[in-house]
Chains A and B, each alone.
Chain A
Amino acid sequence: MSRDLLFGKTLTELRSIVNDLGLPGFTAAQIADWLYKKDISSIDEMSNLSKNARIILNAHFDFGLTPSSKVQESIDGTKKYLFPAGKHKFIEAAYIPDETRKTLCVSSQVGCKMGCLFCMTGKQGFQANLSAGEIVNQVRSLPEKDDLTNVVYMGMGEPFDNLDEVLKSLEIFTSDWGYGWSPKRITVSTIGIIPAMKRFLDESQCHLAVSLHSPFEEERKKLMPVENVYSLPEVIQTIKNFDFGRQRRISFEYIMFKGINDSPRHVKELAKILNGIRCRINLIRFHPIPNTPLKSSDEKTMEEFMVALNAKGIRTTIRASRGEDIYAACGLLSTKELVKRNGGDF
């Protein structure tokens, strides 16, 4: 039976642990400091804890770091890291450096339940939720961790289908006792699971990105089954009801599919439904996946779409494709074949 892990515990959880183990209350903050502010990898290295405290902790817990087991590097400098996530399970994280930003795209689940038509992760189905520790570990065990400027929850999985662990990971990243990052460095992406989105907006200060992909319900429903449960008008209304203030950012992700969602009619409807929301739209090239009937819009169409949206007052950019040659680009992360080869449950 696997032992519990210290890495990934929040300060509240650590307080409960030290209380249960009969250790002094102040030990919790000391442990948090070692876990999230110092570069150690064992309980024995927590040198300001008493020897007895370390013996007791070692008897009950492992430290909990998991190094990546493989890395692939793209010709554009993007790196895709593979992390084990339990027996026969794996996740990927994409490190995307550019001149001014070094971004890590982290996973929140092994696989995904959402079944979006355009996404490779969805094709492997769902295997497991990641713990907060497994989410934060993707940053902590990254060789480039000290260079990171941003973290985006846009890897494998739907973050709001694993909200408790995602919120805990955000708490670890943004608390003074944790990494102490500004929440403005972190963006969490969702396809629009409304109850979880509301809770995230209330309990976190991090940025929100919503996968839109069509302003029309009937079209979106065919691309994203979630539309059958949480409709786009409800998602948009939920966002309109929330006060984002001046600092917090809401953005919409929009993968462009040739002949499907790239017409002037779509520009007009986007402007209509997003009216009143201070937001930006990221246009994304579609990276074809096996057995897909979808094709990417061409460059000219994307440029014209961007110009038309900007002309309507919606700040719109085209996101550069990164890491396509190593399947690290948007929508391409998948560990299905690896899980299968290792005898995982399919």
Chain B
Amino acid sequence: MNFLKDRGLKKYTVIANDQIAPGVYLLKYNRDFSFVPGQVVAIALHSSDNPRMYSIASGMQDEHIRILYDVRPKGELTPPLSQAKPGDTIFASGPSGNFFGTAGPSTWIASGTGIAPFISMWRSGLRKDKILIHGGRFLHSFYFENEFKNELGDNFVRCCSQEKAEGIYHGRLTKWLLEQENLPPDRKYYLCGSAEMVVDTRDILIEKNIPYENILAEIYF
């Protein structure tokens, strides 16, 4: 069966593929479709490969599609993808999925490259009454922090587990959440990250009396 055809994959040209932190890349390619922030695309390097899903990290008005990814040393896609140069061809699907943001009060919780759907929402204008909690192992793990920090101020919480710096919480984001006394139950809580992060964070939120109906999760797989 033609896996790619079934996913509606098309050829796209790489515009840029920059390493923005050790082992973390921002791929940029030409755009010929509209999307809703929070949606994903499937990416493959060759027509015979099984594609992988990635959240779009662009705003709705941005000229290009951006994909934030970290290189998994044993992965089939990301090691060769990290070698892609401007002008190279990749295969990508149109947008799909429905991890949609809301204009209402929301808390965005991301670990690592799980920030991608939230930068998409942010750049698309979902900015009012937002709190962003971003967890990373290193100080360089807070991708796009310059876009968030001025406007979000204290509502931008960076949790760094391996390094210390002023203004940055030292520890995992789950530890930060556990220390919070009064998480408002009537906001929407959006989670994006690894399975471990999502299930641990969801458990903490539920323990802190956030109704599960107000928790929405996006998972990597």
Chain A residues with a Cβ under 8 A of chain B: 111-115, 117, 122-123, 125-126, 158, 161, 193, 195, 198-199, 202-203, 217, 221-222, 225-231, 291-294, 346
Most buried by A among B1, B203, B217: B217
Complex Cα distance A73/B217, Å?
A: 36
With A115-B195, A221-B98 as contacts: A228 and B220 at CB distance below 8 Å: no
Interface residues on B, range: 20 to 34
Query: Contact string, B134-177, partner A, CB cutoff 8 A, digits 1/0?
Result: 00000000000000000000000000000000000000000000
Instruction: Name the segment of B14-22, B27-35, B61-69, B207-215 touching the other chain.
Output: B207-215
- Residues of B contacting A: mostly: mixed
Complex Cα distance A227/B100, Å?
A: 12
Residue in contact with B40 in the complex, picked from A115, A158, A229, A346, CB distance below 8 Å: A229
16 contacts between A and B (CB under 8 A): A112-B195, A113-B195, A115-B195, A115-B199, A125-B199, A158-B221, A195-B42, A195-B50, A199-B3, A222-B215, A222-B216, A225-B198, A229-B96, A291-B207, A293-B211, A346-B196
A114, B6: Cβ atoms under 8 Å? no
Residue in contact with A123 in the complex, picked from B1, B194, B203, B219, CB distance below 8 Å: B203
Complex Cα distance A114/B6, Å?
A: 22
B199, A217: Cβ atoms under 8 Å? no
B40, A114: Cβ atoms under 8 Å? no
State the total of A-B contacts with C-beta under 8 angstroms: 86
B1, A293: Cβ atoms under 8 Å? no
B99, A115: Cβ atoms under 8 Å? no
Set of chain A residues within 8 Å of B183, measured between Cβ atoms: none
- Starting from the known contacts A195-B3, A229-B218, A293-B206, 14 additional A-B residue pairs (CB-CB under 8 Å) come to A113-B219, A122-B195, A123-B199, A195-B7, A195-B42, A198-B1, A198-B6, A203-B1, A217-B98, A221-B98, A225-B216, A225-B218, A229-B96, A294-B212
Set of chain A residues within 8 Å of B219, measured between Cβ atoms: 113-115, 225-226, 228-229
Residue in contact with A115 in the complex, picked from B6, B96, B198, B211, CB distance below 8 Å: B198
